[in-house]
Amino acid sequence: MIANGDCRKRKQISLKTACVLSGLLLLLAAAGLAVHNLLEDHQAGVRSQELLAQVETSQRDLPIEGTNLSSAETISPTEEESTKATAPAGYNVAAILSLPDLGITLPVLKECSDDLLKVSPCVFTGSWEDGPEQLIIARHNYYTHFKDIGELPVGAKITFQTLDGTEYTLSIMEISAIGVDEPEKLEADQWDLTLLTCNFDRTKRILVRCQIV
């Protein structure tokens, strides 16, 4: 009887130990994920600001189309292209987006992929050459990028500047949220510009709808 009792106690202790260890492993995993997300957020902020600095420098200094950051070689611009800013090699920049109320200015990339979204906001769909037209700009919800855009007030102003220096001012008309399984609502109605990101737990898509003023 004593032997059986000792055996049960050992099993209970082993079970408790296993539960504690499992809990510690889960906490470590959660902490590791949090650190990874913070580092990714920080790196995205650094990359986008470096990219923005390159584009802004190109706009100030007699811009030349085709400048390659990895070499000193340049492609001679055509007469029509000579007033356009340079996008760094490997990144095709469409425009510069500014959200003054949040103190955010970011380059917008022409293509959209998961890797590019880790650098800066991307054109998801729509056109921009002659100003934003049914343009959707997507972005991860990094603190360094589209932080708190869902908290912006209706009427807040946003600026969209193409690489030839033309600037458009837009006003926020509506802010809404849709489910991740409701893509048909993304392009509903006619908006000049939509800023698209996700909420904190990525269960919803936040849409900031804007019109040119």
User: pLDDT tens digit string along 150-168?
Assistant: 888 999 999 999 988 899 9
Within a domain: residue 27?
no
User: Which tens digit of pLDDT belongs to each residue from 121-141?
Assistant: 999 999 888 888 899 999 877
Within a domain: residue 1?
no
Amino acid at 44: A
Within a domain: residue 136?
yes
CATH code of the domain containing 124: 2.40.260.10
Average confidence (pLDDT) over 39-57 = 69
Within a domain: residue 67?
yes
> In the prediction, which pLDDT does 63 show?
41
- Rounded to whole angstroms, the Cα distance separating 110 from 125 reads 9
Task: Inform me whether the pLDDT recorded for 66 exceeds 50.
Answer: no
> In the prediction, which pLDDT does 136 show?
95
**Burial per residue of 21-38, b for 16 or more beta-carbon CB atoms within 10 angstroms, e otherwise:** eeeeeeeeeeeeeeeeee
Within a domain: residue 17?
no
Structurally, the chain folds into a number of domains equal to 1
Within a domain: residue 88?
yes
Best-predicted range by mean pLDDT (9-13, 164-168, 184-188): 164-168
Number of H helices, E strands in the chain: 2, 8
- Rounded to whole angstroms, the Cα distance separating 47 from 91 reads 11
Identify the band that residue 110 occupies on the pLDDT scale cut at 50, 70 and 90. very high
User: Angle at CA 117, nearest 5°, toward 127 and 129?
Assistant: 15
Residue 209 CB contacts under 8 Å (≥ 6 apart), including other chains: 172, 173, 174, 175, 176, 189, 191, 193, 194
Average confidence (pLDDT) over 79-96 = 61
> In the prediction, which pLDDT does 43 show?
65
Which range of residues forms the domain containing residue 126?
33-212
8 Å CB contact between 58 and 86: yes
Within a domain: residue 153?
yes
Question: pTM for the full model?
Answer: 0.65
Within a domain: residue 173?
yes
Q: Chain-wide mean pLDDT for the chain?
A: 75
Q: Is pLDDT larger for residue 213 or for residue 144?
A: 213
Per cent of the chain over pLDDT 70 is 63
Identify the band that residue 26 occupies on the pLDDT scale cut at 50, 70 and 90. low
